[in-house]
Amino acid sequence: MNTRLTYTLADGVATLHLDDGKANAMGIDMLAAINAALDRAEKEAKVVVLHGRDGVFSAGFDLKVFARGGPEVATMLDAGLRLCARLVGYPLPVIAVCTGHALALGAILLNCCDARIGTLGTARIQVNEVRIGMTLPLSSLEAMRRKLAPAHFQAATTLGIPFTPESALVAGFFEEVVVADALAATVARWSADLASLDTATFTSNKRRVNEATLAAMNAALEVDVAGLAATGAKT
């Protein structure tokens, strides 16, 4: 579908393999490619797997766009925040496969997925906005609040503490962390299990469980977008 994203469908599982050759930066093109793939998967799949490239899930928003400035910054930030809300409300199970570092929006996106699988090693999982002089959007905080343990939520957001895969599991960034050699089999096991669920029942339950979170995210998103317009997209 896109040089940054490869879409495959097998046994009802749509795999969105993200690979821009570098840090899987969430620029405008990458975000558009993910949304297009989600549109397609909603029509033909039972499960979506959002899979990072070797060594990195995503390092967050595209810093080159920030450096250039201009209206693209607001467009990119708006698209990224809306993707977070879309994943929380998406009608199919979404599995995030984190094969390495997940930073800033990359770490936030993990918390917007239904199941998260990581790999053991030296990867860094970090909501590092406070470390790079940025204020976290309100809507992203609501997304993380639904998954992270309260004490770890504070450490992750207010302090920007980096987590190892092992400590990220304890904090709530992952459901399971495995050695790299076991990753493919683990993803296959999760995919097959979630594909066996009745889609209508899953969608109904997910909507009920996330109703309050989605309402809070959507309300916060309006504040975030208004802030982007008022400040020229500097967050």
Phi-psi sector, 60: left (phi>0), alpha (psi -120 to 50), beta: left
Contact present, 109 and 61 (Cβ < 8 Å): no
What is the greatest pairwise CA distance in the chain?
48
Q: Please, what is the angle between helix 71-89 and helix 199-231, to 10°?
A: 160
Contact present, 41 and 90 (Cβ < 8 Å): no
**What's this model's pTM, rounded to 2 decimal places?**
0.94
Domains along the chain with CATH numbers: 5-180 (3.90.226.10)
Contact present, 20 and 29 (Cβ < 8 Å): no
How do the pLDDT tens digits run along the chain, 235 residues long? Answer: 457 999 999 999 999 999 999 999 999 999 999 999 999 999 999 999 999 999 999 999 999 998 898 889 999 999 999 999 999 999 999 999 999 999 999 999 999 999 999 999 999 999 999 999 989 999 999 999 999 999 999 999 999 999 999 999 999 999 999 999 999 999 999 999 999 999 999 999 999 999 999 999 999 999 998 887 665 544 3
